[in-house]
Structure 1
Amino acid sequence: MSAIAGVVDFHGGPVDPALVARMIAPPQPCDLEVRGPLHRSSSALAFCGRRAGGATCDQPLIDSRSDCAIVFDGRIDNRQDVAGRLSVADSARRSDARLVLDGYTSRGLDVIPGLSGDFAFAIWDGRARQLILVRDPLGVRQVCFAPVPQGLAFATDARQLLEIDGVDRRPNMGFFAEWMAGWITHPSDTIYQGIHRVPAAHVLTASASGVRRDRYWDIDPDRRLHYRDDAEYACHFRELFASSVRSRVRSADRVAIALSGGIDSSAITAMAAHVTTTEPA
């Protein structure tokens, strides 16, 4: 469990770090660690969560050369691939947040389509005076946002943004109707009229000139796999299944699995036991 929050001013005006501190404050009692806010006059970013993959909690992060800062919720599953594209030699010593920030400072938005995992993150680009909000391809993690005078506020949960005076908290009846019907046609809506969220597989770029949403990933319906026999398909499936489970057991804490009694959860449990007992940590 982790969360991010922040407020930025696109015109260089001051931001109140105490506001962001209230937005990121975890429910009590809990054992989550709050880091930040990282306050740099016209921006304040904060992170709350546990350590992932045994890495030190180093957020919020800033790259002083590019004047870019990041708060990151989630995990990157293809770390080696990303590090290879960035020519990073010591990737094992870098957190997921650091790897993504390094990717943005060297490749810009082009680094985002190459990320795989469950994540939501925010990057404040101080030189360009723009905020980047990104959500993973399947929308497992989320990030919400709301306009504020001269800028934008963001947070993992829409309720965190209710700490801000002036946010329109009137019920969004259209969203409630779609939710009750089981058919969400406006994925950027929330239960509040004045709070929105980044849709899955999208990057949002916000600046003084406006807000832009771009899809960076989608299913390719024309992609096909062609193997010689069923055994090769089964082998490929096992490789993907093991890789998926392996990514999700990367944690600083003990891993728990909810069992339904069916074949899916039982297979996941068996694979988790295999990758954690037969493969090097």
Structure 2
Amino acid sequence: MTAIAGIVSFDKKPVDPGIIERMKDTMVPYGRDAQHVWCEPGAGLVRTLCCITPEDSMDQQPLRSADENLMMVFDGRIDNRDELTMRLGISNRQARLMADSAFVLKAFERWGERSLEYLLGDFAFAVWNRSACSLFLARDPMGNRPLYWHKTNHFFAFATLSKGLFAVPGIPRQLCEERIADYLALLPMKGPESFYKDIYRIEPGHRLVLEDGRVQTHRYHRFDPEHRIIFKTDDDYVDNARELLLQAVKCRLRTTGNIASHLSSGLDSSTVTASAAQLLQKKGKRLLAYTAVPRKGFTGPVPKGRHADEGPAASALADRFSNIEHILFRPGNRTPVENLELKVENLDRPPLNLCNQVWLEGIREDAARRGAKVLLTGTMGNMTISYDGRPRLANLLKRGQCLEWLREVHSMVRQTDTPLRGAVVSSLGPFLPAPFWRAFKTWKSRGWTNLHDYTAIHPDLIRRTNLYDRARDSGWDLNYRPWTDGWQMRTAVLYRMDPGDFFTGCIGANNIEMRDPTSDLRLVKFCLGIPEDQYFKNGRSKLLLHRLMNHILPPEILHAKTKGLQAADWYEGETAARDEIKTWLKRLESTSEAPRYLDLRRMRTLLENWPLDGWNQDITIKTYRLLLLRGLSVGAFIHYVEGCNR
């Protein structure tokens, strides 16, 4: 894991060494093991290194090409080193002595911009062409490494995080209204805008070329909706899925430290944990598996269909593997707003889901103490290996296959706990006009019917940013009707949030690299390409994963009737933090910017009318877990930006 930065001066005068040093110093928390800079008239590059893999010890960035014309800085991990070794004609002996960055430079020397077609992994990198005075930037297709840039008439600068850019004099630290509005409304992160005005991100799967002072961006990767994978039998799909899953997990086990994983009672993290345990067991290595559970004695209410304690089901899986050390994490006295300023500073953006940050941070801290350098997750599993396939019902109606739809609905009602009404709503919901859908969800007192139900966004900000038009243009339905097209739904969710900042933040906070096998590009392409009936058929959903893990996952997970609730005791921590929340609101009310973005009056009303019960009710969850805490998260970010500008 590396943090990178650089600057190009259009007048080709020497770059101020002090600026490069300040950029480097800003990136040090994300690369404490080594820091190096390179400068020449017109350009400067920065690399700070956090050693995670064995090959990182051989990293000598910034790298210089054989002809000394190209200079490169690279952040990330390459997962197809063996394939590149063969394609590039590198000997195995030489490959063992090469850091991942060296593979990328050799690929760029061989194929130039087309090298992106041959790279697999999580990465962001920059290549400076000295003779052409051009700069090339790129991010991996899934966006697991971040990269930001800023351009003036005099220079161009880039950095892993925006804070690296603010080390350069003359780059203003101002809020981007549109991005903050989108974030508060949970809209997808579409477009290059960041949380800062005039600071842009390289979007996932994009590259940028700077030449003659002009910037050109291009999307080099997109998933193909016409790409189809067809096999003869169901078993063929399962066999290929298994091979790709194990491949995705295996390439993410490369590290000099211990391996840890999240292990909930859900299908995704348990599948990743079981696969990792199998692979590590063959090498005689152990796996630290973490399950977040409520405090001891917790008996508080949870929403219908959920269970609070994921420990028993997770333990049932851990007991199947002798090399799993199962660790239960309890929140203790931690609260969702504890150290909120530090969270914002580390991420350089508003933290997502403060309730889950309690156990996410706690698990990372404990894993680091136990010598772990990698923490496996299954974040994208719902869109890949455990996709439920339910949009197939609406799609059958859309295509006029009514008899097939009737058979599926009949089987669904007969073989599962789904009521007929639920099956019909899932099928017809996409075709209902928005007012009818909102009326239905309001009648049921469930769902996302009004933007103001779950967000603290100020009404004036909605008008200033034309939020509803932006939502429509992005293809995101703020009424949250079901989808008719499973492929569109999954690709929309895959790119809804940019994960790069959060993965980099984990390095900055704990020197731990988060790795998600369920977002492996090969696995994602496979899961998007196979037929929908491999996920939903004969009334049963998540078929692929059930067939894949049938003899591996315990029945407590595979056939669970309820779904685990992460941070089930969240409201106890939030209640304990009321004084701190009150202090934050008072602080935000005194700022010039926060009242322009947030409905602080409503947030204060919620604080003054704190509920004594009903924490399992949908409206209470939306207002206190989402509206209030997300509003505080954004407010803390606004306060951070204002403080930095003083």
**1:256 counterpart SS class:** strand
Which residue of 2 is the match for residue 61 of structure 1? 63
Distance of 1:87 and 1:280 partners within structure 2? 33
Distance 2:30 2:211 in 1: 35
1:100 Cα deviation from its structure 2 partner: 0.8
| C-alpha displacement of 1:149 | 5.1
Higher share in strand? 1
Instruction: Tell me, in whole angstroms, the C-alpha distance in 2 between the residues paired with 1:27 and 1:168.
Output: 18
More helix by share: 2
Alignment match, 1:4? 4
Work out whether 1:268 is the aligned partner of 2:272. yes
Could you say if the C-alpha distance between residues 278 and 128 of structure 1 is closer, same or farther in structure 2, counting changes exceeding 3 Å? same
Deviation at 1:29, TM superposition (A): 7.6
Return the alpha-carbon distance in structure 1 between the equivalents of residues 113 and 266 of structure 2. Answer: 41
Q: Which residue of 2 aligns with 1:254?
A: 258
Deviation at 1:241, TM superposition (A): 0.5
> Structure 1 unaligned runs (5+)?
none
Code of the aligned partner of 1:76: I
Report the CA distance between 1:224 and its aligned residue: 1.8
Counterpart position of 1:18: 18
Q: Aligned letter for 2:161?
A: D
> Which of the numbers 160, 168, 183 marks the counterpart of 1:179?
183
Distance 1:261 1:2, change over 3 A: farther
Matched residue count: 281
Measure the CA separation in 2 of the matches of 1:215 and 1:74: 19
1:48-79 deviation digits (Å, cap 9, x = unpaired) = 12224201232221125142111111111112
Change (3 A) 1:275 1:143: same
Tell me the residue number matched to 2:211.
207
**Structure 2 CA distance, aligned partners of 1:46 and 1:203?**
19
Q: Is the CA contact 1:135–1:142 (under 8 Å) kept in the aligned structure 2?
A: yes
Tell me the equivalent position of 1:78.
80
Structure 2: stretches of 5+ with no match in the other structure: 286-646
CA offsets per residue over residues 16-58 of structure 1, 9 Å max, x none? Answer: 2331222222578887123211122322211112224201232
Identity over aligned pairs, percent: 31
Q: Deviations over 1:198-252 (max 9, x none)?
A: 0110110012240001111111222222222222211111111011111211122
Q: Which runs of 4+ in 1 moved over 4 A?
A: 26-31
Structure with the greater alpha carbon radius of gyration: 2
Correspondence 1:124-273 to 2 at 5 A: 124-148=128-152, 150-184=154-188, 186-273=190-277
The normalised TM-score by structure 1 is 0.92
SS of residue in 2 equivalent to 1:25: helix
More displaced 10-residue stretch of structure 1: 202-211 or 1-10: 1-10
Kindly indicate whether the alpha-carbon contact (under 8 Å) linking 2:30 and 2:50 is maintained by their aligned counterparts in 1: no
Q: Distance in 2 between matches of 1:239 and 1:79?
A: 18
Query: CA separation in 2, counterparts of 1:187 and 1:136?
Result: 16
For residue 182 of structure 1, give the secondary structure of its aligned residue in structure 2.
Answer: coil
3-state SS, counterpart of residue 233 of structure 1: helix
> Would you say the 8 A contact 1:175–1:186 is kept in 2?
no
Q: Which amino acid in the other structure matches residue 21 of structure 2? A: A
CA contact (8 A) 1:137 1:201 kept: yes
By how many angstroms is 1:148 displaced? 4.4
Q: In 2, distance between residues paired with 1:185 and 1:30?
A: 24
Q: Is the 8 A contact 1:175 1:184 kept in 2?
A: no
Cα distance in structure 1, aligned partners of 2:14 and 2:99: 30
